[in-house]
Chains A and B, each alone.
Chain A
Amino acid sequence: MSDTQNQNNRSQLKSAISSEVMIDLNKVNKWYGDFHVLKDIDLIVHKGERIVVCGPSGSGKSTLIRCINHLEEHQEGTIVVDGITLDKNLKNIDHIRTEVGMVFQSFNLFPHLSILENLTLGPVWVRKKPKAEAVETAMMYLERVKIPEQADKFPGQLSGGQQQRVAIARSLCMNPKIMLFDEPTSALDPEMIKEVLDVMVELAETGMTMIVVTHEMGFAKTIADRVIFMDEGDIVEENEPNAFFDNPQHERTKLFLSQIL
């Protein structure tokens, strides 16, 4: 497929949103000490839906998506993921984490394990799959992120873009229902950003439910079903991408967009 065709296809990327609710945040509040990071957050994400979150630094974007797989604990409100309510029950938390993949700005690959071991660790130890099957799946995902030849190297020997693609593959090996991305391209050089975004677009095409914190607005326009703008712990504005970018309603959104576009 040529590049232009590809581009066309992407702008038409339609998602098959079902009515099934994957994530349901209801009046979620969180404080760091006295600092109110998340204020009455309400958010419903359906199966297959792709959401882009943006907003100024410190507005609570990371905190929000980290609450969804309980890397951070919220203090008030309810979070329901895939029908399971997040509470103090460790079993629930562990279960939800196997269903929710997450990709970080800083990759967080395991430097003491080879790429292949990074990918098979979860399936073997958590999903209890036989080693051979896990290796097969891992290789399949490495092909999909286009670096099968790096399987036996260590993370420290890969470029940033390659590491981030490994991180995506590592999450996918767990066969998650939801993928969370926290500024996956912010630590990368421009030419690497594209290779990572390409992988993410392909992932979106498979119908994965995704929440992506990013400032890559072109990417947001291509894949997002909804764009959410956060500021000071609030969801200030929420709209489908074209309307969001062309016709922002809120003053703060306008200011933010004028700064980054």
Chain B
Amino acid sequence: MAIVTISTSNSRPPPINEATLIGWMRMHLFSSPLNSILTILTTYIIYLTVSGVWVWGVVDAIWIADTRRECFDINISGACWAGVSAWMENIFYGRYPREEIWRIDFGLFLLFLWMAPLWMPRVRGKVIIGMTTVFLYPFLAGYLFSGGDKGIFMSVMVSAAIVGIIANTLNATLGVLADRSLSNFVNNKLGFGNAPEEKQQKVFLIFLAVCFVLAYIWQSGWQAEIVSWTKWGGLFLTLVISGIGIASALPGGIILAMGRRSKLPVIRVLSTAFIELFRSVPLITVLFMATTMFPLFMPEGVVLNKLVQVIIAVCLFNACYMAETVRAGLQAIPKGQAEGAHTIGLGYWGTMGLIVMPQALKHMIPNIVGSFMGLLKDTTLVSIIGLFDILGMLRSISRDTPWLGLHKEPLVFGAMLFFIICFAMSKYSRHLEAKLSTGHKV
């Protein structure tokens, strides 16, 4: 006869030490007399700092005033947030004409609209959505922000982007509500529901082309008012520069990293030289070079604006750093993966794009997001070469007559803004990592 246990063993809570707050504190903070003294001392220092900041920044702070003088009259030892709030619009939008600010907000809204489907369940074609965000949206936003005469190229890109945003939104709506793609929907409506996949793709492309023509005709009917780049500034400018930098760093980095690993000597040497050149020079030097030397190499008559030069410099610089990050990621993928891909007949591009790169990118998420955060913060260097990005704006508050000498508060405010943005990025990267770890996914 076998022995069968009838009752299951009851599970018990873990030993008391680690689980309760008191237990935890006893183990980690007060395990010995010396540790206890250190803990008390540290707590006291933290208390002093935090309470000081709290009193200065909140308790004694002045929120409403018209000048710095007035702040002093109310309470000389408190923070004068009134100055920051009076400059709030400048901090966010720079000197962008006040009646045109809606364009910036609208541009931001479009970005949100464009990217939101990436996080929605059941939406089809996320790779295409991601690609169009990088390759179409910037043109639409660029025109929206700067306005003026479009020219042929901009007209084409703006029309394409308009088709893109509309198709994207419809596709997302259909995906969420009906679990189908826009292509599928269009084909059904036009009576090609049962046609083979390739035919359906063609029909959908023709549909998009027709939409493009309509969009082209429509957009040629209006023009946004021109806003010179010199008026761009504040957090807006910082986000434009770092946004373009971020969007181009990854594709650029991937291309350069693949170049550096290429079997063709010419490509390999060129990529390596390019990467090493940019990596060995500080960003601020690259920025100065871009604004002062770049124009010298340009043919007579070509006038580049400073903003474009800065953006190009930031993009190249960051692509080179990203290239090394990507290369490290590629090296971490075992050779067997590429061999496995080769044996099912995938060539170089298929192997890279479907097998090696996705895995490498997944491993690199923490590093990539780290570089993005670095990029965002480094962008403040452009204030040195005379662009009024967020740092430039924050510092000019102290030169404004009513707020003369107000240094501390704007910078604290700026630090908080950066902290919020970077912290959010960091949190999101953790989330993404957890989501993509297929090893444990069921």
A109 within 8 A of B: yes
| Contact across chains for B441 and A112 when beta carbons are under 8 A apart | no
A71 within 8 A of B: yes
A106 within 8 A of B: yes
Distance A100 CA – B339 CA, assembled complex (angstroms)? 13
The residues of B that contact A130 with a CB separation of less than 8 Å are 196-197
Distance A90 CA – B342 CA, assembled complex (angstroms)? 12
Q: How many residues of A contact B (CB 8 A)?
A: 32
The residues of A that contact B355 with a CB separation of less than 8 Å are 110
Contact residues of B between 230 and 276, Cβ < 8 Å to A: none
Minimum Cβ distance to chain B for residue A182 (Å): 10
Known: A108-B340, A157-B442. A97 touches B359 (CB 8 A): no
Q: Which of A90, A98, A111 has a CB less than 8 Å from the CB of B438?
A: A111
Distance A104 CA – B358 CA, assembled complex (angstroms)? 22
Nearest residue, chain A, Cβ from B348: A90
The residues of A that contact B344 with a CB separation of less than 8 Å are 97-98, 101, 121-122, 126, 170-171, 173-174
A154 within 8 A of B: yes
Q: Which of B339, B359, B439, B440 has a CB less than 8 Å from the CB of A104?
A: B339
Minimum Cβ distance to chain A for residue B424 (Å): 26
Interface string of A76-101 (1 = CB under 8 A from B): 00000000000000100010011011
Minimum Cβ distance to chain B for residue A171 (Å): 7
Known: A108-B336, A130-B196, A153-B442. A97 touches B343 (CB 8 A): yes
Nearest residue, chain B, Cβ from A102: B343
B223 within 8 A of A: no
Interface string of B339-351 (1 = CB under 8 A from A): 1111111110010
| Contact across chains for B362 and A94 when beta carbons are under 8 A apart | no
A35 within 8 A of B: no
Contact residues of B between 332 and 389, Cβ < 8 Å to A: 334, 336-337, 339-347, 350, 354-355, 358-359, 362
A125 within 8 A of B: yes
| Contact across chains for A112 and B442 when beta carbons are under 8 A apart | no
Distance A144 CA – B355 CA, assembled complex (angstroms)? 26
The residues of B that contact A171 with a CB separation of less than 8 Å are 343-344
Nearest residue, chain B, Cβ from A70: B342
Minimum Cβ distance to chain A for residue B187 (Å): 15
Known: A106-B336, A126-B350, A130-B197. A112 touches B438 (CB 8 A): yes
Chain B contact-residue range equals: 20 to 34
A185 within 8 A of B: no
Minimum Cβ distance to chain B for residue A220 (Å): 23
The residues of B that contact A156 with a CB separation of less than 8 Å are 438-440
| Contact across chains for B342 and A125 when beta carbons are under 8 A apart | no
Distance A173 CA – B343 CA, assembled complex (angstroms)? 12
Distance A244 CA – B200 CA, assembled complex (angstroms)? 59
Q: Which of B196, B197, B339, B440 has a CB less than 8 Å from the CB of A108?
A: B339
Q: Which of A108, A112, A121, A174 has a CB less than 8 Å from the CB of B359?
A: A112
| Contact across chains for A98 and B358 when beta carbons are under 8 A apart | no
A69 within 8 A of B: yes
| Contact across chains for A111 and B347 when beta carbons are under 8 A apart | no
The residues of B that contact A109 with a CB separation of less than 8 Å are 340
Distance A157 CA – B344 CA, assembled complex (angstroms)? 22
The residues of B that contact A112 with a CB separation of less than 8 Å are 358-359, 362, 438
| Contact across chains for B343 and A101 when beta carbons are under 8 A apart | yes
| Contact across chains for A111 and B345 when beta carbons are under 8 A apart | no
The residues of A that contact B336 with a CB separation of less than 8 Å are 104, 106, 108
Contact residues of B between 111 and 125, Cβ < 8 Å to A: none
Known: A90-B347, A126-B350, A154-B438. A104 touches B197 (CB 8 A): no
| Contact across chains for A69 and B439 when beta carbons are under 8 A apart | no
Distance A130 CA – B196 CA, assembled complex (angstroms)? 9
Distance A132 CA – B413 CA, assembled complex (angstroms)? 56
Q: Which of A90, A108, A126, A173 has a CB less than 8 Å from the CB of B337?
A: A108
Distance A112 CA – B196 CA, assembled complex (angstroms)? 29
Distance A178 CA – B358 CA, assembled complex (angstroms)? 30
Distance A51 CA – B12 CA, assembled complex (angstroms)? 59
Distance A237 CA – B9 CA, assembled complex (angstroms)? 63
| Contact across chains for A174 and B442 when beta carbons are under 8 A apart | no
Nearest residue, chain A, Cβ from B361: A112
The residues of B that contact A125 with a CB separation of less than 8 Å are 346, 350, 354
Minimum Cβ distance to chain B for residue A52 (Å): 20
Q: Which of A104, A122, A157, A167 has a CB less than 8 Å from the CB of B345?
A: A122
Distance A131 CA – B201 CA, assembled complex (angstroms)? 14
| Contact across chains for B439 and A98 when beta carbons are under 8 A apart | no
Distance A90 CA – B347 CA, assembled complex (angstroms)? 9
The residues of B that contact A121 with a CB separation of less than 8 Å are 344, 346, 354
Nearest residue, chain A, Cβ from B436: A112
Q: Which of A94, A101, A154 has a CB less than 8 Å from the CB of B439?
A: A154
Minimum Cβ distance to chain A for residue B255 (Å): 21
The residues of B that contact A157 with a CB separation of less than 8 Å are 439, 442
Distance A112 CA – B355 CA, assembled complex (angstroms)? 8
Known: A71-B339, A121-B354. A126 touches B438 (CB 8 A): no
Chain A to chain B: the 3 pairs with minimum beta-carbon distance, closest first:
A108-B340, A122-B344, A98-B345
A residues in contact (CB < 8 Å) with B: 69, 71, 90, 94, 97-98, 100-102, 104, 106, 108-112, 121-122, 125-127, 130-131, 153-154, 156-157, 167, 170-171, 173-174
Q: What are 22 A-B pairs with beta-carbon distances under 8 A?
A: A69-B342, A94-B345, A94-B347, A97-B345, A101-B344, A104-B340, A108-B334, A108-B339, A108-B340, A110-B341, A111-B359, A112-B358, A112-B359, A112-B362, A122-B344, A122-B346, A126-B346, A156-B440, A157-B442, A170-B344, A171-B344, A174-B344
Sample of 16 further A-B pairs with CB below 8 A, known A156-B439, A157-B439 = A71-B339, A101-B343, A101-B344, A104-B336, A104-B340, A108-B334, A108-B340, A109-B340, A112-B438, A121-B344, A121-B346, A125-B350, A126-B344, A126-B345, A130-B196, A156-B438
